[in-house]
């Protein structure tokens, strides 16, 4: 029986999911979110007292922007109309029931200031910390991936695109059917906790930036935000490069679980199969027999009845235990990992990578991640942060209410 000494996390669901929160009445949902969302420390860091021409409170405007994501209000004009026409919504956001509301221009200026100051990143970080303290975010395994976002601006031929990293560009990727598709726009990159399926780090780039260029930036961001250090970082084959494996191992003391990209690989390393499994002198794959302190152990397949070797065991070893080969992760952090690539425990971890895909699915279906009406990488990133903040705030607030109800 195969053994593995690596400790794996057993998945547990948080008390209440985002989908459960969507079943609530909109007014109740927003009230719960805003009652637990402390915006004052963030608003107080704005460079100046932010009042519009009629003295609109910045806290209320930020509430309205978050509510717009939760209520799937697609544009600033639609948000202003909702504030004008829905007194309950207006009151929950903080504005008076019969008071005036900020104009579209006022809200746009406020959004621009949020982009320039970057304070939404601080709000995002505080919400991640709160979710981690509550045990909603577990941090054991972090999944990393990106999703495409089509630009709001008109497409341009590639030769006219500014290569400054601040605007939309052309990107190419393979879809789930294996077909190549191109789009003009951006990529939203995210690192997601696999237990809660909540983001712990996000960034936005033009569509032409390769995923592997952003992976370590996300790992660094996640590491700086989380109190607990993740043990595993899970990624698909687009991230298969030596630098990612080595940096995660040496600098972050974690294990990269990444599918191998075998395109262009002509033959495996001498004495090994493509996945890092040693091959015996008779040509049989050896049997993985556990990992200890970064050392993987493999045993003779003939002794373990996994292969019928014509030479028997005496050819390789005089011991009844059979020949043993050990590999050290430090010798080749891409080829060797713990748990060993291809084992049930490795596959179990890698399967958790789909949590980041579900995160992007919720963002697009319920929070309007694809419905951008802004241009430029920084503004799109502000949009992505608002969507992420809305998701974490919703899950955290409803879990808080659920726990208080059980404690009562």
Query: 365 and 295: one domain?
Result: no
Query: 316 and 185: one domain?
Result: no
Query: 216 and 297: one domain?
Result: no
Whole-Å CA distances, 128 to 119, 156, 388, 395:
14, 37, 10, 11
Query: 186 and 254: one domain?
Result: yes
CATH of the domain at 162: 3.30.420
Whole-Å CA distances, 381 to 45, 115, 188:
19, 8, 8
What single string gives the DSSP state of each residue in 102-157? Answer: --HHHHHHHHHHHHHH-HHHHHHHHHHHHHHHTTS---SEEEEEEEEEE-SSPP--
Segment among 152-161, 220-229, 240-249, 379-388 with least mean pLDDT: 152-161
- SS3 for 204? strand
Query: 237 and 296: one domain?
Result: no
Query: 200 and 272: one domain?
Result: no
Tens digits of residue pLDDT in 82-127:
999 999 999 999 998 887 899 999 999 999 999 999 999 999 999 9
Residue numbers of the domain that contains 159: 138-260+351-376
Whole-Å CA distances, 360 to 23, 143, 191, 203, 374:
20, 12, 11, 13, 19
Residue with tokens 């960034």: 203
How far apart are the C-alpha atoms of 190 and 192, rounded to whole Å? 6
248 located within any domain: yes
- SS3 for 272? strand
How far apart are the C-alpha atoms of 12 and 185, rounded to whole Å? 36
156 located within any domain: yes
Query: 71 and 173: one domain?
Result: no
Query: 202 and 112: one domain?
Result: no
Residue 198: strand pairing partners? 193
Query: 248 and 277: one domain?
Result: no
195 located within any domain: yes
315 located within any domain: yes
Tally of domains in the chain: 3
Tens digits of residue pLDDT in 314-363:
778 878 888 999 999 999 999 999 999 989 999 999 999 999 999 999 99
391 located within any domain: no
Contact (CB, 8 A) for 85 and 58: no
Of residues 270 and 190, more confidence is placed in: 190
Instruction: Please count the residues of the chain.
Output: 408
Query: 313 and 192: one domain?
Result: no
């Amino acid at each position: 029986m195969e053994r593995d000494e690596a400790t794996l996390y057993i998945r547990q669901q948080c008390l209440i999911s985002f989908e459960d929160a969507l079943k609530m009445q909109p007014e109740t949902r927003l009230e719960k979110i805003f009652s637990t969302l402390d915006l004052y420390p963030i608003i107080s860091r704005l460079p100046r007292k932010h009042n519009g021409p009629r003295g609109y409170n910045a806290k209320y405007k930020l509430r309205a922007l978050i509510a717009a994501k939760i209520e799937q209000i697609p544009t600033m004009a639609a948000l202003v109309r909702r504030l004008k026409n829905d007194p309950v919504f207006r009151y929950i956001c903080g504005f008076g029931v019969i008071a005036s509301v900020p104009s579209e221009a006022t809200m746009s200026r406020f959004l621009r200031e949020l982009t320039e100051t970057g304070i939404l990143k601080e709000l995002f970080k505080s919400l991640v910390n709160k979710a981690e303290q509550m045990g909603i975010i577990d941090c054991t395994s972090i999944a990393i991936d990106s999703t495409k976002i089509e630009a709001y601006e008109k497409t341009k031929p590639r030769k006219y695109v500014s290569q400054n990293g601040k605007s939309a560009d052309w990107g190419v990727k393979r879809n789930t059917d294996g077909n190549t598709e191109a789009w003009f726009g951006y990529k939203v990159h995210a690192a997601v906790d696999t237990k809660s399926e909540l983001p712990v780090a996000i960034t936005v780039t033009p569509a032409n930036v390769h995923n592997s260029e952003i992976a370590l930036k996300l790992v660094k961001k996640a590491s700086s935000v989380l109190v607990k250090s993740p043990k595993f970082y899970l990624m698909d084959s687009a991230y298969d490069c030596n630098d990612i494996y080595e940096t995660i191992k040496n600098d972050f003391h974690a294990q990269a679980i990444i599918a191998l990209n075998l395109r262009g690989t002509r033959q495996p390393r001498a004495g090994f199969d493509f996945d890092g499994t040693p091959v015996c002198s008779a040509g049989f794959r050896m049997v993985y027999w556990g990992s200890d302190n970064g050392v993987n152990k493999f045993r003779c397949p003939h002794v373990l009845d996994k292969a019928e070797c014509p030479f028997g065991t005496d050819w390789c070893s005089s011991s009844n235990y059979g020949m043993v080969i050990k590999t050290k992760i430090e010798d080749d952090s891409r080829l060797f990992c713990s748990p060993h690539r291809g084992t049930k425990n490795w596959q179990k971890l890698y399967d958790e990578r789909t949590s980041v895909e579900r995160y992007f699915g919720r963002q697009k279906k319920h929070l309007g991640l694809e419905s951008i009406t802004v241009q430029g990488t920084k503004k799109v990133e502000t949009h992505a942060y608002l969507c992420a903040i809305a998701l974490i705030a919703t899950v955290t607030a409803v879990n808080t209410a659920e726990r208080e109800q059980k404690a009562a």
